[in-house]
Structure 1
Amino acid sequence: MKKSLASLDLNLLLCLQLLLQERSVSKTAKRMNVTPSAVSKSLSRLRDWFNDPLFVKTPGGLHPTPLAASMEQDLADWLQMSHQLLDKPHHDTPRGLTFELAAENPLMLIAFNTLSQKIYQRYPQATVRLRNWGYDSLDAIIRGEVDIGFTGRETHPRSRESLSLLPWNIDFEVLFSDLPRVYLREDHPALQEEWSLDTFLRYPHISINWENSDTWALDEVLQESGLKRQIALSLPGFEASMFMAAQPNHTLLATAPLYCQHYNQQHGLKLVTRPIPLEAALLQKLAVPFTLLWHKRNGHNPKLIWLKSVLKELYGEAFLATLQQEIGR
């Protein structure tokens, strides 16, 4: 017999979604600010209502049954739509909104103060949460934990980070395209030599660990020509690589997006840039489209539509023009 939705406490669906995310009664209880006993009772009621065990205990935590697993995406969509309904304003400025952002740093930091001020002007009581873009950020967008992501992808045809390989339920918009540069301190010995591919490869390199990898499209392009750079230092982000490149008494080179020059100027890092010494056709394989990413279910979310417009204003044509001026120097 088909059960009526009226017979189900909708709060139980929130509990179910969190159990699917956490795979743990205690972690779910912590997120709901209730006792583990209360979550266990809710799970028992859910099992009765769906006539399914929903989860099986394993050494690695709770494992969802096929029925529970099949509901995970639908639950995320339903809860997101519920939030959107609750956000419908009874007045011009909804209160208590939360903006969950995952962004590549230092890209977001360049204009984050301006962005946050715009958010607070529009939504005075909003909360803004910014997390670093990481290997699990796409999954966080899909789960509904992140509203929007802002990060670089890759154009190399064999890259795992190509826009064409994004999950079907992720929408995107490219705001600008960046061509990475080589960063080195002002008195680096390479500046006394002819800037060539041989010079570039002679010195040790700083790499960053991006999406759980120490290499990127540059290494693919070099490998195609039978070449390889020496990665002497791997760091967690561009800020750290810029900081280390600026330190004295070493010969390390850093390779990072051109926009990092803005970050360097803001923080007084004495670095100069040089182009990656490759032919134009190969350089185009290194172009990085910096992209806004969001779940399709948020396509009509007023909060996200407004946020995307602000990000496009901050990182759109004017930002691209500044990058083009930097390239021309």
Structure 2
Amino acid sequence: MRLRDLDLNLLVALDALLREAHVTRAAARLEMSQSSMSLALSKLRTVFNDPLLVKSGSGLVLTARAQEIAPRLADTLRHVDALMHERRDFDPSQAHDTVTLIVTDYIDFVVVPSLVKELARRAPHVILRIVGPNPTRFGEIFSSGEVDVSITYFPNPPASLRVRPLFRDRLVGVARRGHPLLAGAMDLRRFCDQGHVIVEPGQATMYNAQIEQALER
């Protein structure tokens, strides 16, 4: 197979598979679905003409070919990453590009207006494209190049993503004036006995997951 005919994202999947020796964990590492990772493994076996991972007892082990590939692949990916992210002079006023951004929930209202204003001032030829969130596919979406940046709550990002905290926030409860829950001390039973409005922005379930985890504690 010629290089131009190869989906180079398969090499990222192969690196995860060889590090984890487990399809499900490799998929989780890249925030991919298990079926997508299984398909990637099937394609990789064809590319390398080797099973790469074989069953041994209750798990998987690397073949001799996979053991040979693993350190060379990791080194290659490091070099590619350095090549892609090497520092160079950048003039935003001369940039002609489209930046695809994922934002969730209210962050759209908090950040985007100021961001658009700043882009218009500093990078007038850059187009900002905003798409809806799909937290279950973050790693897969980023590795495929579908998006460039996400501003969201993301507590356990895969190691392949570069992250930076922007600000801290907190959740609050809202109730009507005179609600019986507001009379007297709050406890877990009183809180859970009430009816609640649940807001799920698209597939962004992480906010309610945080509430559930806090209630469990």
TM-score bin (small chain): 0.5 to 0.7
| Identity, % of aligned positions | 15
What pairs up with 1:134-283 in 2 under 5 angstroms?
Answer: 134-153=135-154, 161=155, 165-184=156-175, 186-187=176-177, 189-190=179-180, 193-194=183-184, 196-197=186-187, 198-209=189-200, 215-224=208-217
Whichever of the two has the greater Rg, that structure is 1
Deviation digits for residues 109-159 of structure 1 (CA, Å, limit 9, x no counterpart): 223111012112222121111223322123322333222222224xxxxxx
Would you say the 8 A contact 2:100–2:129 is kept in 1?
yes
Q: Whole-Å Cα distance in 1 between the matches of residues 169 and 206 of structure 2?
A: 20
Q: Whole-Å Cα distance in 1 between the matches of residues 139 and 153 of structure 2?
A: 13
TM-score scaled by structure 1?
0.38
Q: Which structure 1 residue ranges, 5 or more long, are not aligned? A: 1-7, 21-59, 154-160, 225-329
Would you say the 8 A contact 1:99–1:147 is kept in 2?
yes
Q: Which amino acid aligns with 1:167?
A: P
Q: Whole-Å Cα distance in 2 between the matches of residues 148 and 200 of structure 1?
A: 37
TM-score scaled by structure 2?
0.54
Q: Give the number of the structure whose residues are more often strand, by fraction.
A: 1
Aligned to 1:57: none
Would you say the 8 A contact 2:104–2:204 is kept in 1?
no
Q: Whole-Å Cα distance in 2 between the matches of residues 83 and 97 of structure 1?
A: 17
Q: Whole-Å Cα distance in 1 between the matches of residues 94 and 83 of structure 2?
A: 16
CA RMSD for the aligned pairs?
Answer: 4.4
Give the CA deviation at 1:190.
Answer: 3.3
What pairs up with 1:1-329 in 2 under 5 angstroms?
Answer: 12=4, 16-17=7-8, 64-66=43-45, 67=47, 93-133=93-133, 134-153=135-154, 161=155, 165-184=156-175, 186-187=176-177, 189-190=179-180, 193-194=183-184, 196-197=186-187, 198-209=189-200, 215-224=208-217
Q: Which amino acid aligns with 2:184?
A: E
Q: Whole-Å Cα distance in 1 between the matches of residues 157 and 125 of structure 2?
A: 34
Residue correspondences, number: 163
Would you say the 8 A contact 1:97–1:123 is kept in 2?
no
Q: Which amino acid aligns with 1:220?
A: Q
Give the CA deviation at 1:200.
Answer: 2.0
